[in-house]
Amino acid sequence: MTHLDSILLSELAAASAEVDQQWTWPEQQLDRLAQAGELQWVVPREYGGLDCDGPELIARYREVAAACLTTAFILTQRNGAIQRIAASENTDLKQELLPALGRGETFATVGISHLTTSRQHLGKPAVAARSTDRGYVLDGTIPWVTGAAFAQTIVTGATLDDGRQVLLALEAQQPEVDIRPPVQMLSMTASATTSVAINSVEVTHDQLLAGPCEQVMQQGQGGGTGSLVTSALAAGLCARCLALLQEEAARRPDLAATVHAFEHEYNWLDQQFQAAAPSAATIRQLANSLAMRISQACLAVTKGAGFISGQPAERAVREAMFFLVWSCPQPVVAAALEELSCPHD
């Protein structure tokens, strides 16, 4: 039994190739999720939501990712914004934003990677904040924002002169917020991800979510770099690849051993999600590794036919690469590089 309605999941799966190929923002898919109440996962109960977390949240993400990875990915960024808003002590802002977000009437996203994984080697904040009587004036560029053009709110961070950081709910649609055209990528292009230039934008105290403090991203909750949610998406892709291999193996007995080995590894990965022992980074490393190998196995098995643009194996291979770069903490990158450079160890 699935956590989401199986008809809804089938609809997402049926449209997923088109989303990927046409680079179209999955508006209808998000509308369908809203109608089914599936945009309420991380909204607290007091604002009309489901307050879903732990294994149930992970299971839901896995199901959506298996059906349509782009839609699942957009959900993570949107839900990440909601979690940051919900974790703040800004009650007025929560009341203003959360109920409408949960109903899918508005859209929010995050632009926070410049505080964690992106631009860390530059030695200069990507977005600088200057304190004023009314709040903060921001300048700089948020390097990555998924769905920026569709968002009313971007949860983002900025760094003050003294190194302290603030987390803010930035109004996205205003002239000083320059949302660049979406970029074409190896996969996930339909997520309308782009950079956002901020030209002396005033953000008032009533839009403050956290800080000023050191390392503002370590306050409160909201997924986090390389969190279990990111691994849930990789596991969803693995589930889709495994189903493809099983389908091929049903007609081709010579594939039985390969499929059996992947089934075993997939079940083991599944157990790691349930077990408390491994760290989130370890699970992400395992999920990344399996996603890369099982997607390539799909391609090898489906041969030239699977290599054609838009075929499930071709898409899966491109989608697996996303996990090498998205929300990928340094130890996970290091493990991937080790695996890639020492394949016979």
Ligand X SMILES: Cc1cc2nc3c(=O)[nH]c(=O)nc-3n(C[C@H](O)[C@H](O)[C@H](O)COP(=O)(O)OP(=O)(O)OC[C@H]3O[C@@H](n4cnc5c(N)ncnc54)[C@H](O)[C@@H]3O)c2cc1C
* Binding interface with ligand X (CB under 6 A): 77, 109-113, 117-121, 143-146, 185, 188, 191, 193, 325-327
Nearest distance from C-beta of residue 27 to ligand X, angstroms: 17
95, two tokens: 């009341």
**Given the complex with ligand X, which of 88 and 191 has the nearer CB atom?**
191
Nearest distance from C-beta of residue 180 to ligand X, angstroms: 13
Complete DSSP assignment for 121-190:
TSSS-SEEEEE-SSEEEEEEEEEEEETGGG-SEEEEEEE-TTS-EEEEEEESSSTTEEEPPPPP-SS-GG
- Give the separation between CA 158 and CA 114, rounded to whole angstroms: 9
Q: Which helix (H) or strand (E) holds 17?
A: helix 6-22
**Given the complex with ligand X, which of 88 and 193 has the nearer CB atom?**
193
- Give the separation between CA 245 and CA 257, rounded to whole angstroms: 11
**Given the complex with ligand X, which of 40 and 113 has the nearer CB atom?**
113
Nearest distance from C-beta of residue 299 to ligand X, angstroms: 21
Nearest distance from C-beta of residue 146 to ligand X, angstroms: 3
**Given the complex with ligand X, which of 95 and 120 has the nearer CB atom?**
120
Nearest distance from C-beta of residue 127 to ligand X, angstroms: 11
Kind of pairing, strands 153-159 and 108-111? parallel
- Give the separation between CA 236 and CA 250, rounded to whole angstroms: 21
Q: Which helix (H) or strand (E) holds 320?
A: helix 312-325
**Given the complex with ligand X, which of 232 and 301 has the nearer CB atom?**
232
